[in-house]
Amino acid sequence: MTSDSPLLELVDLATRAPSGHNAQPWTIVRTDEQRLVLRSEPRRWLRMIDPTNRELLLSFGALIETIRQAAPAVGYGVDLQVLADRADATDIALVDLATAPAVSSNAPALIRSRATTRTPFLPVEVDVHDLDLPAGLLPENL
């Protein structure tokens, strides 16, 4: 694969997919010239806050949708097969790519512009008394 290959560009765009808690719980494995397996990476599972892997599977939905949106712009058609039959499966989906004429799209630019805001919303810390109300409303969740 050359540095300017459409497959490399597709994988680069795919890795920008949003994921629960920005964990990127996936590995993209190339198993054939135009075949990718999307695998769940158990070391990135968030067992304490996502014990049923619900957010993990939602993250894979975002990854799959990112691939489906980006592929036509870089010259691929996508045939996708879901492999996972349970929440703790490691092989989630099989992506078969077919070379196709690139379609004019702003999807790659939009995907590249995604960013996680890591700056604080307030210039000061939240006052501890401001936390009393939410803590009082949901004690079973804390």
> Per residue in 36-77, pLDDT tens?
999 999 999 999 999 999 999 999 999 999 999 999 999 999
Mean pLDDT of 15-23: 91
The 91-99 sheet, strands edge to edge: 26-32, 35-40, 91-99, 76-82
- Would you tell me how many other CB atoms lie within 10 Å of the CB of residue 88? 11
Mean pLDDT of 15-31: 92
> Confidence class of residue 129 from pLDDT cuts 50, 70 and 90?
confident
Is it the case that residue 139 has pLDDT exceeding 60? no
- CB half-sphere exposure, 134, CA atoms < 13 A: 8
Is it the case that residue 2 has pLDDT exceeding 60? no
Is it the case that residue 116 has pLDDT exceeding 70? no
Contacts of 101 (CB under 8 A, 6+ apart): 75
pLDDT of residue 66: 97
Is it the case that residue 20 has pLDDT exceeding 60? yes
pTM of the model: 0.79
pLDDT of residue 140: 61
